[in-house]
Every structure is written in structure tokens, then in C-alpha cells.
Amino acid sequence: MVKFGFALNPSSRIDLDKTDREKFAQLVELEPDVLKCMACGSCTASCTAGKFTPTSVRSAILEIQNGRWQQALDMLKGCLLCGKCTMVCPRAINTRHLILAINEVYQSGK
């Protein structure tokens, strides 16, 4: 067999069958707009804090959907709740309320 110099790293695989869907359901109940996100990146591009910290609402939502909620909480720690991302969102998601809902649902599980 020919070796191409790369291999899959088993530790980086995400088992979506083992993710906590119950907490995501709670998040959807609190803020149904999370399902409207199309991961366009407008929020991240307009983020003032994102220039200095790894803050990204889009990436945080994707991390939560992949079951990595601690990484999502770490990403949102730098958020200033200024509202710029809400103004530029093409789906009119209230990202401030979404970030507060994420913190409410996932901080309570610690």
C-alpha cells in the first residue's frame, strides 16, 4: 500500500451519536433563532472583540452542534454584547439574546 504521508487522527473525530442533544433542545426552546443561522460569517466579520479575542458566534454555534460546548463557551467569553453582529445578520438573528441563552443553558450544566 502506498503511504501518502498523512493519516486520520482518531482523537479529532466527532461522534455525533454521543453529543448532548438535550441541551441543544433547551437552547432551541429558549432561542429558536439558533436554527436560522446559515454560518455566513457576517457576525464574525463585524465583531469588534473578534479582532482581539477568538470570539465567533458562528463558530460557537457549530461547536455546540458538534457537541463541543465548552469550546463554544470559551469562544463567547470575549463577547462585549455590543450588538454589531445583530445589525449585520442577514437572517435577523438576535445574537445578543442567543449568546445569553447559550450561556444560560450551558453554564448551568457545569
- Digit-coded pLDDT (tens) for 8-42: 666 666 777 777 788 888 899 999 999 999 999 99
**Grid cell for residue 41:** 460569517
pLDDT of residue 1: 64
Helix, strand or coil for residue 96? helix
User: Smallest Cα–Cα separation from 91: which of 58, 63, 65, 64?
Assistant: 58
Q: Is the pLDDT of residue 93 over 90?
A: yes
d(CA 38, CA 44): 13
CB distance 21 to 36 below 8 Å = no
As for how many domains the chain has, the answer is: 1
Q: Is residue 77 part of a domain?
A: yes
**Greater model confidence, 110 or 36:** 36
Indicate whether 52 pLDDT > 70. Answer: yes
pLDDT of residue 32: 94
The b-or-e profile of 42-72 (16+ CB within 10 A means b, else e) is bbbeebebbeebebbbbbbbbbbbebbbebb
CB 81 within 8 A of CB 99: yes
Residue 12 lies in a domain: no
Q: What is the pLDDT of residue 11?
A: 64
Average pLDDT across the chain, whole number = 86
Band of the pLDDT at 88, cuts 50, 70, 90?
Answer: very high
What residue numbers bound the domain in which 61 lies?
37-107
Report the predicted TM-score, pTM, of the whole model to 2 decimal places. Answer: 0.79
Please say whether the beta carbons of 90 and 42 come within 8 A. Answer: yes
Alpha-carbon separation of residue 88 from 46, 74, 83 (angstroms): 7, 23, 9
